[in-house]
Amino acid sequence: MTSIIIGISSGFLTILLFGVVKHLDKKIVYGLILTGIGFLYVGFGWTDLQALVVNSIQAILFLLLAYIGIKKSLNILALGYFLHGCWDITYHFINDPGLIPPHYDLFCLSIDFTIGAYLLVLNNRLTFKK
């Protein structure tokens, strides 16, 4: 439970930090974060060849999703965060769960879903302002 509370809090802190800095392009910032969190798993699993291959593939897929989201829509970026949260939860079915830190799955899931929900709200707010 603690990992979820820390993850949600971290998600809100990230949103607040980049909300204060008005001159940054939110699509680029959140696209870079999505890319980075995908590549964290490569660092976790580099000692196991199967995990390295699987994690590298998922990292590249999230990089591509982030790129498309930056070019097209915050909704695609939000989808990327929700999918990454699903990846966090299903990781132990695909690879050795001992490769990632304890409780990282719930921690990262909660950050991903917090930021994903924010991006959906932000996109709808921007759409209604037009």
> What are the tens digits of pLDDT across the range 63-120?
999 999 999 999 999 999 999 999 999 998 988 888 889 999 999 999 999 999 999 9
Among the residue ranges 20-24, 57-61, 103-107, 116-120, the one predicted with the least confidence is 20-24
Task: List the one residue out of 88, 37, 87, 89 whose CA is nearest residue 63.
Answer: 37
- Helix pair 26-44, 74-94: axis angle to 10 deg: 10
pLDDT for 122 equals 82
Judge whether 123 and 74 are in contact, CB under 8 Å.
Answer: yes
CA 67 to chain centre: 13
Q: Quote the CA–CA distance of 10 and 115 in Å, as a whole number.
A: 10
**Domain ranges within the chain, ordered by starting residue:** 2-129
Average pLDDT, the chain: 91
